[in-house]
A and B are shown apart, each in its own frame.
Chain A
Amino acid sequence: MNMLVLLKQTFDTDTKIVLKDGRISEDGVTMVINPYDEYALEQAIRLKEAGGGTVTVVCAGPARSEEALRKALAMGADEAVLIDPPADGDEYTLARVLAAACKARPFDLVLGGNLSVDNGASQVAIRVAHELGIPYVGAATKVEVNGGSVRVERDAEGDVEVITAAAPLLITAQQGLAEPRLPSLPGIMKAKKKPITKQTPADLGVDAPARTEVVDLKAADSSRQTKMLAGTAAEQATQLVRLLREEAKVV
């Protein structure tokens, strides 16, 4: 089975977000593979190990993303494609670019993350499926391949929904789909020799200006105040209700 994995490099989830000149600053930030994409990647590698085929990682992102791709190759992907996206693109733009890159190669399965932990728009993968004209199953918690048929268990708001579909299709990973492995030293050394193809939207014949515009970016107000209450439980409860009403104005 030939598999494509959509992958994005994001901030480490522990990162404190700093706004500078109306943009999110990347100074001194640790970058990681978007955790949801990493579950998708691990799933693809396991499917390859079990049933053969290839895993190609496709990324539309800035040059720094190469590090994330190198890790994906070290984990066991066969090759990678890095597309330099238009700076002013949106999810529509990215989906068009990624879909064009997917179309350029044979595939049976496209895997991606349910969402990215930075923007969290949950837009790109489902749009790619639309562009490719293939079925989409989101938030998978289990994926099994039987010949040309794929059985997916998905997280339906806490319930499990079981779906079967014929390849080709696009699946996104819910948290925990497949716990990612650490790249081993032999994997890291092999990855040095695996190809990363660099392309531009023009190479792919895509011109897809953004359809949305970011008008403003504000940091969430995360200031916290601590107030210790004293007295008996009943007195503290009275004080708490009063403070919630008068100061926090939430009740």
Chain B
Amino acid sequence: MDFDLTQEQRLIVDTARQFATDAVAPGARDRDRSGQFPDELVRRLGELGFFALPFDEEWGGAHDTLSYALAVEEVTRADAALGITFAAHVSLGCFPFYAFGSAAQKERWLAPALRGEILIAFGLTEPDAGSDAGATRTRAHRDSNGEWVLDGSKMWITNGTRAAVLAVTARTQPGERGHGISALVLPADTPGFTAQPIHGKMGLRSSDTASLSFDGCRLPEDSLLGEEGRGFPQFLQTLDGGRISIGAMGVGIAQACLDASLAYAQQRRQFGQSISKFQAIQFKLADMARDVELARLAVLRAAWLKDQGRPFTREAAIGKLYASEAAVASALQAIQVHGGYGYVDDFPVERYLRDAKLLEIGEGTSEIQRLVIARQLGC
């Protein structure tokens, strides 16, 4: 076993950390308050080449999910809203184009997406098809001249109003559950397509979350992404990879909780000494450190398996489940360490809790992760 990073991986992580510290962290609170989408930061992440990290060198990448996970962690540590924008664009948006797209689709959409010139969103979840993704109601059929006609709606779509193009799942053949679902490429300027921002989110406020509707959207014949009827296994594969990035976000938030709590505990004095000298506080910090360490190992192992081309479904689910729960638990404890100061947004820890909660819900709830793990155990 070798737990050391390569020179390239260390350079990538150092770059991500420096970018996060210098460019991302300073505006994080203001963006959380205003909900202002971080266009400039997204553009700079693209310029740094970070969107290509998990993909082959042919696409400007490093074929390195491990350093991608570490980069997502570093960005999230500074601002989870930028973290999810990054993670969703790469793992959910770019990945299906990379894995299932035709040469023409890759050239037209993936190349600019990896350079950060456009965002790609993934339209899977529907108002009535969340955990039960097989219940997809959005439909597409071919008309007499071979064009696709898409009707339906999607919900909770990250980068939905910002994306230049979307991969949308729709039922294209009659079938039960996962059968007969396909993915289609939908340019955002297609007539009949609308994306509405969802307001009032608890956290991740400067990220873009949208509801989508498709009203007779006409798409060219070559709009299938991957094979017809293979949409269900394709998105399961996409979600497996996405879970690594959500796990990485959990590690980033938990680490941020530990950093903030340790700094505060060392500086805050009560009863004549630094509160970091009290065991009640020390135990909270120790628990956070344990959670960060274990969550990071679990997530990176899943990333490593993916890079080796080996099965990683179980490990990605474990990493996502553990890291997201660790982030929520750490954020609650971080607020407790800060006392009253933790309850207002002068300190970042209340934001960490609001942001972390989404990680137990998005890209498969904690309950779905447990189901995935149980199935992998053979239940």
Contact = CB atoms under 8 A, between A and B. Distances in A.
Most B CB within 10 A of own CB, among A71, A186, A188, A192: A188
B19 A189 contact: no
Interface string A175-206: 00000001111111101100000000000000
A180 to B, nearest CB: 10
B304 to A, nearest CB: 19
A74 interface: yes
A185 B7 contact: no
B48 A70 contact: no
* Interface majority SS (helix, strand, loop, mixed), chain B: helix
Contacts of B197: none
Most B CB within 10 A of own CB, among A66, A186, A189: A189
A67 interface: yes
A67 B10 contact: yes
A183 B9 CA distance: 12
B57 interface: yes
Contacts of A187: 49
A189 B8 CA distance: 7
B49 A66 contact: no
A71 B11 contact: yes
B62 interface: yes
Nearest to B71: A185
18 contacts: A67-B7, A70-B7, A70-B8, A70-B11, A182-B18, A183-B11, A183-B15, A184-B49, A185-B12, A185-B49, A185-B50, A185-B62, A186-B60, A188-B11, A188-B15, A189-B62, A191-B8, A192-B8
Contacts of A183: 11, 15
A34 to B, nearest CB: 15
B178 interface: no
Interface string A57-82: 00000000011001100100000000
* Interface majority SS (helix, strand, loop, mixed), chain A: helix
Which 8 interchain pairs have the tightest Cβ spacing? A185-B49, A184-B49, A182-B15, A184-B48, A188-B11, A70-B7, A186-B49, A188-B8
B8 A66 contact: no
Contacts of A182: 15, 18-19, 48
Most B CB within 10 A of own CB, among A71, A182, A187: A182
B35 interface: no
Nearest to A192: B8
A171 B7 CA distance: 30
Contacts, number: 44
A187 B11 CA distance: 10
Nearest to A187: B49
Contacts of B60: 185-186, 189
B7 A184 contact: no
B61 interface: yes
Contact of A188 (B12, B19, B47): B12
Nearest to B9: A188
B53 interface: yes
Nearest to B11: A188
Contacts of A71: 11, 14
Nearest to B19: A182
A23 to B, nearest CB: 24
Contacts of B326: none
A111 to B, nearest CB: 22
A161 B19 CA distance: 34
A191 B62 CA distance: 12
A195 B366 CA distance: 48
Nearest to A73: B11
Most A CB within 10 A of own CB, among B7, B10, B62: B7
Interface in B41-64: 47-50, 52-53, 57, 60-62
B53 to A, nearest CB: 6
A185 B10 contact: no
Nearest to A67: B7
Nearest to B50: A185
A67 B11 CA distance: 8
Contacts of B53: 185
Given A67-B7, A67-B11, A185-B60, 8 more contacts: A74-B11, A182-B19, A184-B15, A184-B48, A185-B48, A188-B8, A188-B12, A189-B8
A27 to B, nearest CB: 16
A183 B10 CA distance: 12
Interface string B48-90: 1110110001001110000000000000000000000000000
Interface string A120-150: 0000000000000000000000000000000
Interface in A72-110: 74
Contacts of B52: 185
Contacts of A191: 8, 11
A153 B204 CA distance: 47
Nearest to B14: A71
Given A182-B18, A185-B53, A188-B12, A66 B62 contact: no
A71 B8 CA distance: 9
Nearest to B6: A192
A184 to B, nearest CB: 5
Contacts of B12: 185, 188
